[in-house]
Amino acid sequence: MSPLEETPDRDGPVAPPARRERWRPPKDIYSVPRRFDLASMLIVATAYALLLTALKALGADEWLSLWMVVFVTWVGGAQVVLFRGDDPRKASWIAGAVFCGLTPAVYMAWGYWRGQLAVGPAFVATTMPAILSGAVLGYLTGGLAAGVFLLIDLVRHWMERSKRAE
């Protein structure tokens, strides 16, 4: 029975209850946008500040903090650039795999240049696991970046709704 049909205990049609407009995420896939407005820049800066604060609270040293900030920025940039922004999930795991695959190579080249590390089987032993774990880490980082922009949309919707209510 539809809400507008007559019911035995009433004489006329029953109107559906009034619903309050609720925010629902769109069906689109969220990713890092190509353009930022001021609100987006402030929220992204806050997200970076929270990341660095959490790393500091966990006792991470400065090099790990630098690596994490560069990694998050790398994955976000890949979401924008790779595949013209059409496939942010694939871009995230590719960026993570490439970045984490290059990390042992850069570390070993740095150590070899300084004369402190012999390059050889250790490179092969560390690069493959780094690529595989980097793909997973990139995918998760891309998901967190998308979550930040989902929150930005939620805040925008809340602000627009409060302006309309005034």
Please give the pLDDT value at position 16: 60
Q: Measure the CA–CA gap between 33 and 43, rounded to whole angstroms.
A: 13
Domains in the chain, number: 1
Classify residue 84: in a domain, yes or no. yes
Please give the pLDDT value at position 89: 92
pTM comes to 0.74
Classify residue 92: in a domain, yes or no. yes
Classify residue 135: in a domain, yes or no. yes
Mean pLDDT for the stretch of residues 137-152: 92
Classify residue 150: in a domain, yes or no. yes
Please give the pLDDT value at position 23: 62
Classify residue 30: in a domain, yes or no. no
Which segment, 8-22, 62-76, 97-111, is predicted with the most confidence on average? 62-76
Asked whether residue 72 carries a pLDDT value surpassing 90, the answer given is yes
Give the structural domain span for 66.
38-165
Mean pLDDT for the stretch of residues 68-82: 95
Give the model's confidence band at 82: pLDDT under 50 very low, under 70 low, under 90 confident, else very high: very high
Percent of the chain predicted with pLDDT > 70: 81
- Give 6's strand partners: 13
Classify residue 28: in a domain, yes or no. no
Please give the pLDDT value at position 29: 74
Classify residue 5: in a domain, yes or no. no
- Considering only residues 48 and 14, tell me which one the structure prediction assigns the higher pLDDT: 48
Asked whether residue 26 carries a pLDDT value surpassing 70, the answer given is no
